[in-house]
């Protein structure tokens, strides 16, 4: 399949889950085409259902650390979710290709920073 980068981007839904230190879903967000979604209210099941409805029709679900964090969380919170049947692009796996000299490729979370670290 040929075309410019917009072809594939139009078929991708980008998403992120914010899970708090207690393991609860604090927020979910997504961008699909020109639309954006931010869900901060409701139960975990309601948030995941709203996210699944929002990204319906996307060919690819794109997220950072989606395979080892976000989708396992979805599997525990909503095992029947359509999110689990989507094709996934995990940017955590692509990051070393774009930035081979970086020592790590996971997001640095503010609450995980220590004063002594760079």
At residue 118 the predicted structure's pLDDT band, cuts being 50, 70 and 90, is: very low
Residue 54 in this model has a pLDDT that exceeds 80: yes
Q: Are 91 and 106 in contact (CB under 8 A)?
A: no
Structure pTM? Answer: 0.79
Tell me the C-alpha distance between 50 and 25, whole Å. 13
Tell me the C-alpha distance between 1 and 74, whole Å. 31
- The Cα-based distances of 72 to 23, 62, 113 in angstroms read 12, 15, 24
pLDDT, one tens digit per residue, over 2-19 is: 566 678 889 999 999 999
Residue 31 in this model has a pLDDT that exceeds 80: yes
Residue 101 pLDDT: 73
Please give the residue that has the higher pLDDT: either 53 or 118. 53
Share of the chain above pLDDT 90, in %: 68
Q: What would the mean pLDDT of 48-75 be, rounded to a whole number?
A: 97
């Amino acid at each position: 399949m040929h075309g410019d980068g917009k072809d594939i981007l139009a078929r991708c839904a980008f998403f992120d889950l914010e899970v708090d230190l207690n393991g609860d879903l604090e927020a979910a967000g997504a961008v699909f085409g020109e639309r954006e979604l931010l869900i901060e209210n409701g139960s975990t099941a309601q948030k995941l259902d709203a996210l699944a409805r929002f990204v319906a029709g996307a060919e690819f679900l794109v997220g950072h650390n989606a395979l080892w964090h976000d989708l396992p969380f979805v599997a525990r919170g909503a095992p029947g979710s359509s999110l689990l049947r989507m094709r996934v692009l995990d940017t955590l796996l692509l990051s070393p290709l774009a930035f081979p000299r970086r020592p790590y490729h996971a997001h640095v979370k503010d609450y995980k920073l220590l004063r002594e670290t760079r």
